[in-house]
Amino acid sequence: MTLPTADELQRRASDLLATWRVLDTSIVVAWNGRLSTTAGRAFVRKGRVELNPRLLARAPEQVLTVLTHETAHVATFRLFGANVPAHGRHWRALMRHVGHEPAVTHRIPVRGLRRSRRSFHYLRFCEACGDRVIHTARRFGRCHGCSARDSFLFLRAPATAQGLAALQRLTPAEVRAAFG
Ligand SMILES: [Zn+2]
Ligand SMILES: [Zn+2]
């Protein structure tokens, strides 16, 4: 899985705002591993965009489309205020201006992405340096071992003592084999 870093996306979003002649080009872009089947969301007042790494890992070519979609919501708010429709003509014009079809829903398959009520432990394995951490959620960010951001493999097991032991026992070869 090679997704751009949040920093790269943030610069891109800021450039988009400048292209749309928004005076305030400050924006925060973050990956949010807790998003379920939504590709991204925008908090227009805060100037914050969140993208779904589990969903977009299935369609990395869609990342910029989703980023543009959500950033256009922030731009619409800054340019036209809160009283224009979310996906109305203002927003659609901004999307077209930068060469994107103003589509409202994504077509990335969401099978298996809905959050289960069971809880899990996640082994995060860094392919770059072999660092391993077990968490109760998929945590992105920098590897503690080598600072890479995008070399993680995640394996999960039920949040039980047996599940935890199974994750701890896995060898690097077994982790890699699980990903073919
Ligand atoms: Zn939208
Ligand atoms: Zn590492």
Residues 154 and 88 in one domain: no
Is residue 129 domain-shared with residue 89, that is, in the same domain?
no
Distance (Å) from CA 113 to ligand 2 centroid: 26
**What's the confidence (pLDDT) of residue 79?**
97
What domain range includes position 38?
6-97
Q: Give the tens place of pLDDT for each residue, 102-149.
A: 988 888 888 777 765 668 889 999 999 999 998 888 888 899 899 998
Q: Among 97, 131, 152, give the residue marking a domain's end.
A: 97
Quote the percentage of the chain above a pLDDT of 90: 57
In angstroms, the Cα distances linking 65 to 19, 77, 146, 154, 169 are 16, 19, 30, 25, 40
Q: What is the pLDDT of residue 115?
A: 63
**Tokens in use for 157?**
């097991």
**CA 53 to ligand 1 center in whole angstroms:** 17
Distance in Å, CA 159 to ligand 1 centroid: 35
- The answer on 132 and 87 residing in a single domain is no
Chosen domain end from 97, 112, 136 = 97
Domain at 90, CATH number: 3.30.2010.10
Asked if pLDDT for residue 88 goes beyond 90, the answer is yes
| Residue of 149 and 80 predicted with greater confidence | 80
Entry pTM: 0.64
Indicate whether 81 belongs to any domain: yes
> Residue 128 CA: which ligand is closest?
2
In a domain, 108, yes or no: no
Smallest CA-to-CA distance from 53 within 68, 63, 44, 45 is with: 63
Asked whether 155 and 180 are in contact (CB, 8 A), the reply is no
